Structures are given as structure tokens and as C-alpha cells.
Amino acid sequence: MSINRIMRHLGEERSVIREIFEYGNARKKEIGADKVFDFSLGNPSVAPPPEVNAEIARLIAEMPSVQLHGYTSAAGAPEVRAAVADYLKTKFGAPMSTERVYMTCGAAASLTIALTAMSEAGDEFVVVTPCFPEYRVFIEQAGGKVVTAKAAADFHLDLAALERAVGIHTKAVILNSPNNPTGVVYGRAELKVLAALLQKKSDERGAPVYLIADEPYRELTYGAEVPFLPNLYPHTVLCYSFSKSLSLAGERIGYIAVPDGCADADGLFAAVCGAGRSLGYVCAPALFQRVAAKCLGKSGDIAAYRENRDLLWNALRAYGFACVPPEGAFYLFVKSPEPSAKAFCERAKKYELLLVPSDSFGVEGYVRISYCVAKPTIERSLPAFAQLAKEYGLI
């Protein structure tokens, strides 16, 4: 008798990002926190909008605590689910019903539940690389197979690659926009072509290819439009999280919404409830369900992220680094000046710059910089980036 080998491996395998983060913490103790420039984690650096704490205070003052902290229904408190459906209807004109909103513990739970709800033996799930590394873990735990479609050179969608990747076994395509790690926001035109492609594939085989919209960064854009996917393609399942928009990453709150026009919407939602039940994701944190319901569409100080982005992007370009134009989320994706991103990160470490090599996102030769840090950290890091650029002869 032995324990589950796959789970043991997942538990023992060290996440590259976490490893860099831990290294940064140790280094900060050695040489001082202000001398280490840790750009590894995507942990929001701005405070939640004031409505969050105001609503927490109001709920604590006004709601009997035994009720406030008790179980809600498995899918969430009815008034919270209704608020989410109403918000989506009003904001996007989308056909959404309270009955098909499921409150979850952030995007990670939204995705694992949605994937488990859909997946049957032999199913494939298409991801656009570079992508969030946990997609592979979530898809495989759901019994699915990962199929990758590389993004285009500018990191927008490569529709020919997607056409090749979507086959008769594809259950769903996962799309993440604004994107982690590239900061790209997919435009309406390319999404319309994707929607037509998925509709054509669905018609050909007589069964829908679902689209899973992984949207933790929906509100974090710097001017670019983020088209609402269910309005472009009906078989879209929304996997939303309040982690980044409301800076509530540690509170674990989000939702799944299955739109009215989605194929077998009721069956799929029943499977979402079943998957939530079998994974133990019932009754998302009750206090934060209610807080989120009052803060729909709100966000922390996006202007602060924009300042960070502009400061870093302008400096890195002036130093000769090539970066993907960042339109949303809080990441810069920078081309490594040498073929190995890992080697580049090692050299950056000499200047106390902690960057994440792109290999774990499924492509080689880039690094991700999370600019959700305090602005002075970026200001202090610029001479280090300049020295790094000099080492490569860029300036």
C-alpha cells in the first residue's frame, strides 16, 4: 500500500515562483529588505477599495454573527448569487441567471470545479502558451489531457495554431485575458475569429467546444477593452476571482457563471455543483461572499499599477530590453538577452533582481516581472536593471 504518487510528486515539486520568493525572503534578511528587488509573485500591492472594509464593518455590526459566519447554501448565499447575476446582466447585457452562479474560493477553485464538471475520459483541454503554470495541474487532476497552442509572436492569439489544436476530443479552450504572464489583452476582432472557429468545430462534430474564461484580471487594464466573452461565444463558462481586482487574494473568493445560452446550461451547472461537492468546494467563505456582492465591478487603485507599469516599461526599453506592450494585469514579459531565460535570471540575481524564467509558463527565452510592488522598489531597482543591461552590452 502506498500513498498517491502523483499527489506526492505535486506536493514535493517546488514551484519555481515560490522558490524565488523564498530565496528573496532569505536574502532580505541577509542584506536588508530595501536592497532586494523581488518581482516574483502576483500578490496585489494596493489596498482593497474602501468599500471592502466598510462592508466588513457593516456586516459585523449589523448581522448576527452566528448567521454571518455560518454555512450558506453549497453554491453560495442566494442574495449573493442574485447580485452577481444582476451585475453581469446590467454591466454586459449578458443572459445570466441566479440559478447558474456558483460562488467559489478564487479562480483556482473556479477552474478546478469547471474542469472537473466537464471532463470525461479522453477529453482534451487547449491552453494558449505562455500560460498560468497551474493549468496543467488543474486539467490533469480533472482527468483531462493538456493540448497547447502557442500564442503568436506578439502574444496575441495565433488562430491557425488554435485551429490545429482544437480537435474532436477538445472539451474546452481556456482563455486568460488580461493575460498572466504577458500582460496582453485579446482584442474584439481576434476573439470574434476564435468564436467563429469554435462554433464551426462545434457544428462539425455536433457537440460544443466550451470556452473557459479565466478572468481574475478583468478590471486591471490600462485603457484596452476586455470584451465579455459570453456575448461573443455562448458556450463560455466564466471563472472569475476577486483576488486581484479587490486585492483579496488571501480571502479566496470568486465565482463560476454559466450563461443562459450555453449548451446544456442546466446539465453543466448541475455538474459544477457535483464537482464542487466532490472536491469539497462547497459554501465559499461566507463573510467574503457578502463583501464581494457589495463590491462587484470595483477595484483597488489601478492608477498605482499604471504608474509602476509606465516607470518600468519606459526604463527597460531605454536600457535596450525588448518587452511585450503591457495592456493589462500587472506583469511585464521581457525577452531574455540570452537564449536561456534561467541563465538570464541567474545573472539578474547578482544585482538582487528576482525575475521568473518563462519556462514554467510553457515558452522559452523570456522572463516575467510582476510589477505589483511598492513604487519605491521599482525606483530603487532601476540602476540594477541598467547595470544588467550594460553586462549584456545593451547600453
- Which residue's CB is nearer to ligand PLP, number 125 or number 385? 125
Total number of residues that touch ligand PLP (CB under 6 A)? 13
Taking the complex as a whole, the smallest distance from the CB of residue 75 to ligand PLP amounts, in Å, to 18
Provide, rounded to whole angstroms, the least separation between the CB of residue 207 and ligand PLP. 26
Report the nearest approach of ligand PLP to the CB of residue 66 (Å): 28
User: Of 144 and 337, which has the nearer Cβ to ligand PLP?
Assistant: 144
Which of 52, 249, 258, 282 lies at the binding interface for ligand PLP (CB under 6 A)? 249
Residue from 227, 254, 259, 357 in contact with ligand PLP (CB under 6 A): 254
Longest CA–CA separation in the chain, Å: 65
* Rounded Cα gap, residues 241 and 255, in angstroms: 6
Amino acid letter for position 73: S
* SS3 assignment for the chain: CCCCHHHHHHHHCCCHHHHHHHHHHHHHHHHCHHHCEECCCCCCCCCCCHHHHHHHHHHHHHCCHHHHCCCCCCCCCHHHHHHHHHHHHHHHCCCCCHHHEEEECHHHHHHHHHHHHHCCCCCEEEEEECCCCHHHHHHHHCCCEEEEEECCCCCCCCHHHHHHHCCCCEEEEEEECCCCCCCCCCCHHHHHHHHHHHHHHHHHHCCCCEEEEECCCCCCECCCCCCCHHHHCCCEEEEEECCCCCCCHHHCCEEEECCCCCCCHHHHHHHHHHHHHHHCCCCCCHHHHHHHHHCCCCCCCHHHHHHHHHHHHHHHHHCCCCECCCCECCEEEEECCCCCHHHHHHHHHHCCEECEEHHHHCCCCEEEEECCCCHHHHHHHHHHHHHHHHHCCCC
> How near is the Cβ of 264 to ligand PLP at its closest, in Å?
25
214 forms part of the interface with ligand PLP (CB under 6 A): yes
Residue from 243, 299, 360, 381 in contact with ligand PLP (CB under 6 A): 243
Which residue shows C-alpha cell 476586455?
A: 226
Least distance to ligand PLP from the beta carbon of 109, Å? Answer: 7
Residue with cell 526599453: 317
107, 173, 174, 284: residue in contact with ligand PLP (rule CB under 6 A): 107
Contacts (CB under 6 A) with ligand PLP, residues 167-196: 176, 180
Q: Please report whether residue 234 would count as binding ligand PLP according to CB under 6 A.
A: no
Among 116, 241, 245, 308, binds ligand PLP (CB under 6 A): 241
List the one residue from 24, 44, 48, 106 that touches ligand PLP (CB under 6 A): 106
The answer to whether residues 110 and 213 touch, using CB atoms and an 8 Å cutoff, is no
Of 254 and 362, CB closest to ligand PLP: 254
Binding pattern for the stretch 3-22 against ligand PLP, x by CB under 6 A and - elsewhere? --------------------
Nearest residue (CB) to ligand PLP, 241 versus 336: 241
The Cα–Cα gap between 390 and 395 comes to 5
**Subset of 116-135 contacting ligand PLP (CB under 6 A):** 132
Closest to ligand PLP by CB, 157 vs 315, is 157
Sheet holding 331-335, edge to edge: 331-335, 366-370, 356-357
Measured distance CA(280)–CA(102) in Å, rounded:
13
CB of 141 to ligand PLP, least distance (A): 15
24 belongs to the binding site for ligand PLP (CB under 6 A):
no
Residues 216, 227, 234, 328: which binds ligand PLP (CB under 6 A)?
Answer: 216
CB of 181 to ligand PLP, least distance (A): 8
- Pick out residues in 130-159 that bind ligand PLP (CB under 6 A): 132
Stretch binding ligand PLP (CB under 6 A), from 18-26, 70-78, 103-111, 337-345: 103-111
> Closest CB to ligand PLP belongs to which residue?
106
Residues that bind ligand PLP (CB under 6 A): 42, 106-108, 132, 176, 180, 214, 216, 241, 243, 249, 254
